[in-house]
Amino acid sequence: MANGKINVAVENIFPLIKKFLYSDHEIFLRELISNATDAISKLQHLSSIGAVKGEIGAPRIEVKIDKKSKKIHIIDQGVGMTTDEVNKYINEVAFSGAEEFLEKYKEEAKDSGIIGHFGLGFYSAFMVAEKVEIISKSHMDAPAAHWTCDGSPEYTLVEADKKDRGTEIILHIAKDSKEFLEEERIRTLLNKYNKFMPYPIKFGTKEETLPLPEGAKEDAKPETQTVDNIINNTQPAWTKAPTDLKEEDYKSFYRELYPMQFEAPLFNIHLNVDYPFNLTGILYFPKIQNDLNLQKDRIQLYQNQVFVTDNVEGIVPEFLTMLRGVIDSPDIPLNVSRSYLQADGAVKKISNYISRKVADKLSSLFKKDRKNFEEKWNDIKVVIEYGMLTEDKFYEKAGKFMLYPTTDGEYLTYEELEAAVKDSQTDKDGKLVFLYAANAEEQHSYIESAKEKGYKVLLLDSPIIAHLIQKLEGEKENISFSRVDGDAIENLIKKDEATVSKLSDEEKETLKPMIEAVVPGEQYTVQLAAMDSGGLPFVLTQPEFMRRMKEMQQTGGGMMGAFPEMYTLLVNTNHELVGQILQTKTAKKRDRLIQQALDLARLSQNLLKGEALTTFIKRSVDLIK
Ligand code: ADP
Ligand code: MG
């Protein structure tokens, strides 16, 4: 029998542990199971080098709740500890480790929540227990040890009669931690932190249905038997070699990771390096919704198969945080704040590696099966566009597989796009103009009229496209993007015979003030244009720059300041109705025609709403009466 006093400077460390780590109490279980896992790994290592003789069997871990006597048991079949070792590892090492940890992190820990990542080791048990016992039998020929400590620096250490190798930790759960005596609570924790740990973890039992014996009647009731309930998959897919895995294995691992996700992932990327850092993992591309904020199931970070966090900010490049999956690396420092992480050289390398692997995968998918890649494009484009915007290296690589869909369902690479419009879409300054629509429904009439003129119209509809376009224009030479309802379309050099105006200059001079008198000048600039006589009488366009800046503001960034709603009203001097306006002598009748033509133009821009729409409908009825 030995009584002792743990030698620490901080008189009573336990109240401190409780106080500082309040929000992360649950990590005690992860810490104790990690220790049990380490103990089994040590045993296997000793056995493999012959230091432990004989069969060691298949060691495992068990977690048991004894609700009646308010205890949790964590039992392992690992190396165990002799009395001397308990003295050394628990009384000295673990304790000083805990003390050092608290000293170092008590300030930082309060606001950053990093404790949960780091863990406090064995002493985290005192966050939930008022008394802790260790009963341990070493693999060596020595009597078992029984250590008891009630949370004060005093402990007792006596011999015990445990015969089988391994360690049992008994937590006497404190009153304020009763929640941990609930089976459901522990099950949830095991599922969160220990789902993929390398040795079997038993938690209770379950009923298993036996297969029907051969020749059994069809309506025979299958027998059941009670078996151990093992809560973990000891060999998760990411720990295996990519060559040993089939497509189906990746898919079923995804379901294991995210049981609530019914939609299969589009494809995956297996990460596997051991130099200059160690990292394994599998990333999945899910179908990404256009809503960037929608990401419930996130990438999980593990260290040696122990779950650490699902906040991978700083470790995974920002644009890839929309993906799902796991990464496992013992080399990611966790006992530091996020800002430090971002500055850390090793972490930067890891982040770059991940980014490069994703680019390589996309590139190979594109090359191997372009059709398939095109089919997936709409579900992955946001990630790619976001990556191009935020990572220069990725931008360079993505230039080869970034696709520009057209409103006709083609998917062109940049090179192909350039070649396709080279001869037909140059403006007066010699610039190549790429026309695009952001919404095929809303901009339907503009798309149609551009297509009639023989132009190619892209369909670029992701929420951040304005930012990317802005960047592309800056990087590439002599090109510009213009939305179909923008005014740039009028600057395109027309290939066929330039449309000649049917109105004389004199007539035009009479017409313009007539229209300006009706159209509100602060919103519309009137411009006469000779257009296709079969088209619309009035067409509204919006300056590309202004509209784009406004869009960029809405998705963060762009220039600051309020951009007014400004439109150019193009009056088609070749249209029959415009000729009619000019002929109409009664001012009232004429104004009504102008108003009607303006409203039609607004309608095709989706701008006619509320009272203006009601008035338009009334006027239309009057006109057809
Ligand atoms: P760490 O795990 O980081 O070493 P801990 O405070 O968790 O720190 O544990 C301290 C030491 O106590 C361990 O290094 C190990 O030597 C010993 N130990 C703890 N739990 C066990 C166990 N279940 N079996 C054997 N040794 C253990
Ligand atoms: Mg530990």
Each residue's pLDDT tens digit, 319-336:
998 899 999 998 887 655
Query: What spacing in Å lies between the alpha carbon of 506 and ligand 1's midpoint?
Result: 96
Distance of alpha carbon 370 from alpha carbon 401, whole angstroms = 9
Nearby residues of 152 by Cβ (< 8 Å), 6 or more positions away: 12, 14
Would you say residue 265 has pLDDT above 90? Answer: yes
Query: How many angstroms separate the alpha carbon of residue 121 from the centre of ligand 2?
Result: 4
pLDDT at 297 over 90: no
- Residues whose CB falls within 8 Å of the CB of residue 559, separated by 6 or more in sequence, listed in order: 549, 552, 553
Least confident range of 74-88, 227-241, 523-537? 523-537
Q: Is the pLDDT confidence value at 112 over 50?
A: no
Number of neighbouring beta carbons within 10 Å of residue 419:
11
- 258 pLDDT exceeds 50? yes
In the chain, helix, strand, coil percent, each to 5? 45, 20, 35
- The residue whose CA is least distant from atom 20 of ligand 1 is 35
Least confident interval from 251-260, 285-294, 347-356, 594-603:
285-294
Q: Where are the alpha helices (DSSP H) in 81-172?
A: 83-85, 95-112, 115-118
Q: Is 625 helix (H, G, I), strand (E, B) or coil?
A: coil
Q: Work out the average pLDDT over 87-93.
A: 85
> Of 257-271, 543-557, 575-589, which gets the smallest average pLDDT?
543-557
Residue 105 to residue 116: CA distance in whole angstroms: 12
pLDDT of residue 512: 93
Secondary structure letter of residue 480 according to DSSP: E
Q: Which residues, at least 6 apart from 408, have a Cβ–Cβ distance to it below 8 Å?
A: none
Cα–Cα distance, 170 to 149 (Å, whole number): 11
Residue 309, H or E segment: strand 306-309
pLDDT tops 50 at residue 449 = yes
- Range in 42-56, 487-501, 539-553 the model is least confident about: 487-501
Which amino acid appears at position 347 of this protein?
V
Q: HEC profile for 181-195?
A: HCHHHHHHHHHHHCC
Identify the weakest region by mean pLDDT among 59-63, 381-385, 463-467, 488-492. Answer: 488-492
Is 156 a residue whose pLDDT tops 70?
yes
CA distances from 564 to 47, 524, 550 (A): 76, 11, 9
Sheet holding 279-285, edge to edge: 267-273, 279-285, 324-328, 300-303, 306-309
Residues 6+ apart with CB under 8 A from 602: 540, 608, 612
User: What pLDDT is attached to residue 534?
Assistant: 72
Give the residue whose CA is nearest to atom 14 of ligand 1.
89
pLDDT at 22: 56
Q: State the Cα–Cα distance between residues 251 and 268, nearest whole angstrom.
A: 9
pLDDT tens per residue, range 516-546: 999 998 889 999 988 877 778 999 988 888 8
Are the beta carbons of 292 and 463 closer than 8 angstroms?
Answer: yes
Give the whole-angstrom CA distance, residue 102 versus residue 16: 8
Instruction: Read off the pLDDT of residues 472-490 as tens digits, 9 standing for 90 and up.
Output: 999 998 999 999 988 777 7
Is the distance from CB of 67 to CB of 231 less than 8 angstroms?
no
* Residue pair 607/598 in contact by the 8 Å Cβ criterion: no
Percent of the chain with pLDDT over 70: 88
- Rounded distance between C-alpha atoms, residue 206 and residue 228, angstroms: 6
Mutate to test the pocket of ligand 1, among 29, 31, 35, 95 (most ligand atoms within 8 A of CB): 35
Domains of the chain: 2-204 (3.30.565.10), 237-375 (3.30.230.80), 403-493 (3.40.50.11260), 505-624 (1.20.120.790)
What are the DSSP calls for 314-346, one per residue? TTB-GGGTTSEEEEE-TTS--SS-HHHHHH-HH
Q: What is the mean pLDDT of the chain?
A: 87
Q: Nearest bound ligand to CA 85?
A: 1
Separation of CA 233 and ligand 2 centre (Å): 21
Give residue 35 CA to ligand 1 midpoint distance, Å.
5
Q: Measured between alpha carbons, how far is residue 489 from residues 157, 454, 495, 599 in Å?
A: 87, 12, 13, 21
- In eight-state DSSP terms, residue 50 is T
Q: Which of 60-74, 488-502, 578-592 has the lowest mean pLDDT?
A: 488-502
Lowest mean pLDDT among 36-50, 104-118, 397-411, 415-429: 104-118
- Measured CA to CA, the distance from residue 394 to residue 385 in angstroms comes to 10
In the block, tokens 């109409």 appear at: 584
- For residue 30, the ligand closest to its alpha carbon is 2
What pLDDT does 13 receive?
Answer: 64
Residues with CB under 6 A from ligand 1: 31, 35-36, 38-39, 76, 78-79, 81, 89-90, 93-94, 97, 121-122, 167
Q: How far apart are CA 295 and CA 374, in angstroms?
A: 24
